[in-house]
Structure 1
């Protein structure tokens, strides 16, 4: 069974490289706020490597602790210390599930709005991005996946300027990396345990994979 983790570490790194090389969306020094990075370490590391000014909101948006992490070294240190305990918590306490994925935590939206407003790019899991996004965005870029047409309308209403998804759109929806990984593994025709990062990269290149970039007009 695939969960998307194998593809995240390759696909999302590759998308960062494409954006930095071929667009003006990822300039050196761009202020990037990741709502959660331990589940997207490849994306976090790649963004730091291309020279982005990083803010990691793992403690802010999953634990409600108003402490932003600013370096990969500190992120690794805190993750090593806290993850063993956090993973014992009920999942719904650290990640929006069910109807919470379609609603906002208004108290935290107001409390943590500055993290969104001060960033050029907000990256990471879309359900977390959506749950805490304030109004009054000023043309920021969202770097994520698993979005629908209603999500795009939501982003426009909030004032977002550009949406970048790491997975392509099919029928008005960009699917999660778990769905895409399942498709790629089927194409590779290998046992999951035999699939390597290089296999994913070579297949992505053969398919001429490109990130989806949607200008929202803000």
Structure 2
């Protein structure tokens, strides 16, 4: 049996372990949360290094990829400082491949339900594949990078605006504590509804589940949510908010959808890859991910309420 482990600085309340058959291999998937304790997470990586087949970095990202340009998040690198052997991924391999399918799934599976193409993408820098998919499909978009990650009521309305923001802020953001821009530990359990105007404007809301749960209004009837890492409690929340369709970009396994980092680690484990994953110099890595996604096959999953 292959073993893939996602060590997350998020809440331990979301921990889960399942076994799946993937590309002809039985793979154990395990998510371990450390409730915001980065040093505890680093120790766990060190203790399990060489004993598991692949690691996923949960609750954080090792870097930001816009098209083929990679910017390292320096403040996160300490998480994996003790890893010497086991390949480490953070979900970028699926964000740049699988998540590009979301607009096609909306078109094919929702039978024309989305008539006005207006998408609120929580953080484009974190999910460039999703953001570019909506742009390519002709959606009018609001990108909430400054809103959701920085707490500023400044919506971005074009790809150019996102790129300009990235050029200005990534050098600073990459060295700031990750907790400044993303809820970790107990903060993941605290609701703070805001940006109601932008949520109500949208017909589709896409982004990290923690961001959406934290900030969306109590009621958002008729909308389509595109996200992942959903638990049964998350699904109940979206249902009670009046959401019509929930699209998870990773498959639902035993009641929940794991993060892209967990599923990418599972693929790496199933493929038997031993060499380190370098997103800055990926060679054929993204092509290998694309081929694996088709072979499984993985496809964003639709749940109707």
Q: TM-score normalized by structure 1?
A: 0.90
For residues 24 and 91 of structure 1, the distance between their equivalents in structure 2, rounded to whole angstroms, comes to 40
Deviation digits for residues 169-191 of structure 1 (CA, Å, limit 9, x no counterpart): 11111000111101111222333
- Stretches of structure 1 lacking an aligned partner (at least 5 in a row): none
Asked if 1 retains the 8 angstrom alpha-carbon contact of 2:98 and 2:298, the reply is no
For residues 104 and 214 of structure 2, the distance between their equivalents in structure 1, rounded to whole angstroms, comes to 28
6-15 vs 51-60, greater mean Cα deviation: 6-15
How well do the aligned residues superpose, as a CA RMSD in angstroms?
Answer: 1.9
Equivalent in 208, 212, 224 of residue 141 of structure 1 = 224
Deviation digits for residues 118-164 of structure 1 (CA, Å, limit 9, x no counterpart): 11011011101110011221210110100000001111222211110
Q: Give 1 or 2: higher strand fraction.
A: 2
Counterpart check, 1:49 vs 2:136: yes
For residues 61 and 3 of structure 1, the distance between their equivalents in structure 2, rounded to whole angstroms, comes to 20
Deviation digits for residues 29-75 of structure 1 (CA, Å, limit 9, x no counterpart): 51000111101111101110011111001101111211111111111
Aligned pairs, number? 212
Deviation digits for residues 11-46 of structure 1 (CA, Å, limit 9, x no counterpart): 101333343345446857510001111011111011
Counterpart check, 1:74 vs 2:164: no
Cα shift at 1:202: 1.6
- Stretches of structure 2 lacking an aligned partner (at least 5 in a row): 1-87, 278-282
Q: Secondary structure at the match of 2:180?
A: helix
Deviation digits for residues 72-121 of structure 1 (CA, Å, limit 9, x no counterpart): 1111111111111122322222111112212212xxx24x1111111101
Instruction: Name 2:32's counterpart in structure 1.
Output: none
155-164 vs 195-204, greater mean Cα deviation: 195-204
Asked which structure has the greater CA Rg, the reply is: 2
Asked if 2 retains the 8 angstrom alpha-carbon contact of 1:28 and 1:52, the reply is no
Q: Give 1 or 2: higher helix fraction.
A: 1
